[in-house]
Structure 1
Amino acid sequence: MCRQDMDRFSKMHPVLEFTFFICVFLLSVSLSNPVFVLPALVFGVIYEFILRGREALSCLKLTLAIIFVVSLFNFIFAHYGVTLLFQIKDTRFTFEALFYGIYQGTMLSATLIWFGIFSRNIDSEKVIYVFRFAPKCALIFSMVLGFIPRFNAKLEDIRNARLGLNGGRMASSKKERFKNGINDLSALITYSLESSIITSDSMQARGYNPHAVRYSRYKMTASDIILTAFTLFVFIYVMYAKISGRITFVMNPEIYSKTFDISAMVLCCALFFLPTAVDLFEEIKWKISALKK
């Protein structure tokens, strides 16, 4: 059994999951405060390890690479700030530019990690259920989510087929690699168009009706309601603290925390920790029930 099958949070009500991920995405990109973005990255990585185990090491390596590249890029090309590290001719390299680059890389990494978790937790059935008030939009969105891994696998098949036709010889020049990439993309677009036509004809032949009444296996429990209310409360409270200037962090021209709300910080960390906490609570319940037997 894979770890994803044992994840309790992914089995909860779709409304809770959509509410949680939307709030996490918005908080991660809108707070402009590294003190709040760092927990989003840390708890996202922890939850990633819970879901994927050692396979999450690749995600951690990618995270470190993104932070390094973004921070280095900002450090080289941005020259604001007052804390001079060194100077080459007339070009100043400051600590503030390096710090802001690390912050940008952390924010981008956190967003990508949570988006990856979102794509693994949310399937087409949940999308159709949440957006059942707009069935056509729900169908398109669910199909897009399904096409992404499907097209990635198909692109790999196209590359392998091309390598087979070339006797396994890899492209030796940039021009040849670019030409091969264009040919692979052209083949993938042709496949996607043919696949969309086949899917459309198949749905029409089977009598697809977006307004038909559908059975749903999801039921909102008390725990779903409580956690959804908690998620919305944390989001509203933290955004209010942001708008009212209670969690202001200055990174130019100096780095300092102008205002800080410890309550907003604790609640934000609790929100990012929520999926892990749900899984840990379920694991504790399971072990207690096993001991009673």
Structure 2
Amino acid sequence: MRSFSEYNPIAVTVWFFSVTGIAMFSSYPLLMVMSLVGGAVFFTVRNGFSRGREHIFFWVLFLILALANPLISHNGKTVLFVMNHNPVTLEAALYGLNSAAMIVGVLYWFRSFTQIMTSEKLLYVTGALSPKLSLILSMALRFVPLFSRQSAKINSAQKAMGLYKDDNIIDDIKGKSRVFSILVTWALENGIITADSMEARGFGTHRRTQLRRFGFRAADIALLAASLALLGVTAAAVGSGSLDFMFYPSVSTAVPDKLGKAGLIAYGALIMLPIIIETEVSLRWRYLRSGI
């Protein structure tokens, strides 16, 4: 039994974009709650409670977003109270909560996505679509940590030379500007060296090939098929209006019909797929360790 991160990257990517796509293009509150709770649970299942700071950041962001909308937007018929001659309405407050749940839920999902989808997996997915896009992405992913390490080296060298001090804000700004200038110069020079190296190795003279280290197994096909099927049911429910929800000018919603209920169940099942896989792997691993 493989963990969710060990499934084929294409199947994993399709699942992630299915979950986040429904959350971003729907406004039904129950779907937003399911996305937020599912994203937080999946992130916790994968990382335990060792990422407390990230949880705090997400929930503080949720609080800020939820409070910002009713203070900025004054649309809606139901006035809760008046603050500084501006009405705070129930509809704006509910819309703020719904939007905050959507944004934080998607952030949770993409945080897990960045942990699972390594640079090699992203190159595998994009390489099948466009080799040039794959090359650009691989170079970008390489230069981000490279720039970070080079910036730390330049910063340490500047400190060792005594060119600026941390306790003086003016010297600190001048020092950071000097570090940035040196880093940009180094990046331009490194880009020229990379281009010359690629040309010397014959880049562009022949058709590019792709290294395929990830095969499709039965479990990968099952995950991909289940994701697309559940996405189809949920998208049909959202697109048909069965899960419409209006916040302005007053809160109004229709009772979900059979298709709407099927869409809610399908989205819940879609969210639970990786959580079930990760939980089963964790329980099986504990069982095997207990027998040692």
TM over 0.5: yes
Partner of 2:250: 254
Q: What whole-Å deviation, never above 9, does each CA across 1:154-190 have from its counterpart, x for those lacking one?
A: 5566666666642331528xxx887776666545544
Partner of 1:9: 4
TM-score, normalising length from structure 2? 0.83
CA contact (8 A) 1:249 1:259 kept: no
Q: What whole-Å deviation, never above 9, does each CA across 1:192-248 have from its counterpart, x for those lacking one?
A: 433433433444445556734444221111111111011111112111111100111
Matched to 2:41, the amino acid is I
Larger radius of gyration: 2
CA contact (8 A) 1:41 1:109 kept: yes
Partner of 2:166: 168
| Residues 97, 152 of structure 1: alpha-carbon distance in 2 compared, 3 angstrom cutoff | farther
Deviation at 1:128, TM superposition (A): 2.6
CA contact (8 A) 1:78 1:97 kept: yes
Instruction: Please state whether the residue corresponding to 1:87 is helix, strand or coil.
Output: strand
CA contact (8 A) 1:28 1:111 kept: yes
Deviation at 1:98, TM superposition (A): 1.6
Partner of 1:20: 15
How far apart, CA to CA, are the structure 2 residues paired with 1:221 and 1:211?
Answer: 28
How far apart, CA to CA, are the structure 2 residues paired with 1:267 and 1:152?
Answer: 43
| Residues 128, 92 of structure 1: alpha-carbon distance in 2 compared, 3 angstrom cutoff | same
Partner of 1:71: 66
CA contact (8 A) 2:131 2:208 kept: no
Matched to 1:218, the amino acid is F
CA contact (8 A) 2:164 2:172 kept: no
How far apart, CA to CA, are the structure 1 residues paired with 2:282 and 2:43?
Answer: 17
Aligned counterpart in structure 2 of residue 239 of structure 1, from 232, 235, 238: 235
Instruction: Please state whether the residue corresponding to 1:107 is helix, strand or coil.
Output: helix
Deviation at 1:288, TM superposition (A): 5.3
| Residues 12, 113 of structure 1: alpha-carbon distance in 2 compared, 3 angstrom cutoff | same
| Residues 62, 27 of structure 1: alpha-carbon distance in 2 compared, 3 angstrom cutoff | same
CA contact (8 A) 1:123 1:142 kept: no
Matched to 1:36, the amino acid is L
User: Structure 1 stretches of 5 or more lacking a match?
Assistant: 1-5
Partner of 1:97: 92
CA contact (8 A) 1:245 1:259 kept: no
How far apart, CA to CA, are the structure 2 residues paired with 1:255 and 1:192?
Answer: 54
| Farther off after superposition, 44-53 or 77-86 | 44-53
Say how many residue pairs are matched: 285
CA contact (8 A) 2:18 2:231 kept: yes
Deviation at 1:147, TM superposition (A): 3.8
Partner of 1:273: 272
Q: What whole-Å deviation, never above 9, does each CA across 1:21-69 have from its counterpart, x for those lacking one?
A: 2212211210112210122121212222233333322221111121122
How far apart, CA to CA, are the structure 1 residues paired with 2:272 and 2:143?
Answer: 30
CA contact (8 A) 2:67 2:93 kept: yes
CA contact (8 A) 1:85 1:93 kept: yes
Partner of 1:87: 82
Aligned counterpart in structure 2 of residue 44 of structure 1, from 39, 46, 49: 39
RMSD: 3.1
Matched to 1:166, the amino acid is Y
Q: Report sequence identity in percent.
A: 28
| Residues 256, 191 of structure 1: alpha-carbon distance in 2 compared, 3 angstrom cutoff | farther
How far apart, CA to CA, are the structure 2 residues paired with 1:66 and 1:136?
Answer: 37
